[in-house]
Structure 1
């Protein structure tokens, strides 16, 4: 089968379009002939951290396709079924949080290939109203956004949520989901182009990351902040969040080290909450939520499998608004 592997050097330069040995599903597994897959920032982080001594592997966490074969003891799935892949392996119950969630596509082989083998519990019926391009980019970003907003952030109708760094999949999914329940949404970006594009989304305002958010928001402070940026924007959060507000952290694109002003936490009694990915229970709930509100992923661009490196270059330059699709079959 054709596949994109990462080997040899760090970063995007280690991507290779190759022929890989086709495999059969084992006990409790299914083999999915992929139609589409999706890029995630996680892939960039994995590539940047690898060394030339590490074994080659197939990247990719998101994907959708058609079941091609099933292993022993698979009873409720049959070849020909259209499915979407849940990339979080082994996390079944929402309240049973693993130390580090196991995710498809690192170190296990992922979805940038013509087929992938996954546990039977990690596929769900493809929502019929979604195109293959939309289904292929849904899973990891939408699951992360759903858990951050609702399980961890407890977002309610009428509340105000701030999403710094609009552009990537999680941020755009979170925007659509929050607006769907009647929350007010504000976003930020360093890019004027992205801020203008974001105004096509169901948001109240798009703020410049480098300007004073407090000045622009005035008395319209926020109940919930979804933080995927880290130190570059963290100081501004305390200027715009309400007492008893929540900061839910799921990423650190500008670095790991932040300074927390203690009095700014305990006097207004703020909550700083961590989250990452999500459980199978939440994955099912997320799909039901998407269908209930007829939400469609925002597709930025589509690249063929052999041009995966070009797709990642676009992501690395932070040019996308929404999700980047890999068309496989």
Structure 2
């Protein structure tokens, strides 16, 4: 079979021939139809990820058709259209992954290939309203956003809450936006791109600001509280989802409403600094670290996507052989939505 292999750190991906796969007990082989990139893949290529073992076939996200089943797997799975949960061995504690937890695509070979082998427990029926490319875009970023928004920050379905999502345009942030809007929240966003802010409003965001402005948080509060200026003095957002960290994290505590919940799962802008403890404790803020999610959350996310007929935002679809071009686009931050590789 054909596969995209990362031979060494800081080297381009190579399209290679590797042996076809055979499933072990309780495993299935999936003929991949589409696979999607995550920042994790680029970080592995650049050596910015722990315990890298090379060469490896990257790729965590994928959708396709079950090609072969191992011992203990009902043959009824053969030929089914499926999507993969890339989180392997979460464990029995829903609050925290086990020490054996790992993500498909390193150290285990991943989805940037014509075939991948995974445990049956990580295989789910593909939502029927999604194409293979759309379904492949969903797993890792969608699950990360779902856990942050629904499990950790506990977005309420009993009342309309105000949600802020930073850095909209990336995969997880866009999913958080779509989930929050579908759940009935009033959603605001930040981005460094006018195009991405406009796209967010098309997806249901009420408004947004450019975080490249020095006082973006003040601009945001002014825009969001035009009908009730008094809220600008105490904070406005009940739930905040962040994937950047860095010095601007302190501004999130300023715009947070009393008793707000802040969930974050990234640190692309560096260390969190300048947070005033008094702001956190006088506002009774809750701050949650989060990443990925457990098996039950993956199933809940898929059910929510099907119920609301949500469609992931796909930036572009390229053939497998052009995978390095997709890596370059992600590394440059040019994408709006998920970058997908077609493996058909």
TM bracket (short chain): over 0.9
CA distance 1:55–1:178, change in 2 (3 Å): same
CA distance 1:78–1:238, change in 2 (3 Å): closer
Residue aligned with 1:199, SS: helix
Name the residue aligned to 1:196: 198
CA distance 1:152–1:207, change in 2 (3 Å): same
Kept after mapping to 1: 8 A contact 2:66/2:78: yes
CA distance 1:105–1:164, change in 2 (3 Å): same
After superposition, give the CA deviation of every residue in 1:11-35 in whole Å (9 maximum; x if it has no partner).
xx33111111222000110000000
Residue aligned with 2:77, SS: coil
C-alpha distance in 2, partners of 1:130/1:232? 38
C-alpha distance in 1, partners of 2:86/2:146? 15
Residue aligned with 1:57, SS: coil
C-alpha distance in 2, partners of 1:206/1:77? 48
Name the residue aligned to 1:265: 280
Kept after mapping to 2: 8 A contact 1:63/1:85: yes
Matched pairs, number? 326
C-alpha distance in 1, partners of 2:144/2:269? 19
Name the residue aligned to 2:239: 224
Name the residue aligned to 2:264: 249
C-alpha distance in 2, partners of 1:293/1:54? 40
Deviation at 1:228, TM superposition (A): 0.4
After superposition, give the CA deviation of every residue in 1:160-198 in whole Å (9 maximum; x if it has no partner).
111110111111111011000110111111122322332
Name the residue aligned to 1:98: 97
CA distance 1:50–1:163, change in 2 (3 Å): closer
Name the residue aligned to 1:143: 143
TM-score, with length taken from structure 2: 0.90
Residue aligned with 1:225, SS: strand
Kept after mapping to 2: 8 A contact 1:214/1:239: no
Name the residue aligned to 1:5: 5
Q: Which ranges in structure 1 are unaligned for 5 or more consecutive residues?
A: none
Q: Name the stretch that deviates more: 300-309 or 85-94.
A: 85-94
Deviation at 1:54, TM superposition (A): 4.4
TM-score, with length taken from structure 1: 0.94
After superposition, give the CA deviation of every residue in 1:90-144 in whole Å (9 maximum; x if it has no partner).
1255625125641111111000000000001000111111111111111111111
Segments of 4+ moved more than 6 angstroms: none
C-alpha distance in 1, partners of 2:30/2:82? 8
Q: Name the stretch that deviates more: 225-234 or 249-258.
A: 249-258
Name the residue aligned to 1:29: 27
Residue aligned with 1:49, SS: coil
C-alpha distance in 2, partners of 1:268/1:70? 54
Residue aligned with 2:297, SS: helix
Structure 2 counterparts to residues 1-329 of structure 1, below 5 A: 1-10=1-10, 13-49=11-47, 54-75=53-74, 77-91=76-90, 93=92, 95-98=94-97, 101-156=101-156, 157-211=159-213, 212=215, 213-218=217-222, 219=231, 221-329=236-344
C-alpha distance in 2, partners of 1:216/1:235? 14
CA distance 1:77–1:149, change in 2 (3 Å): farther
Q: Which ranges in structure 2 are unaligned for 5 or more consecutive residues?
A: 223-230
After superposition, give the CA deviation of every residue in 1:44-86 in whole Å (9 maximum; x if it has no partner).
12222269x9430010000000000001111275211111101
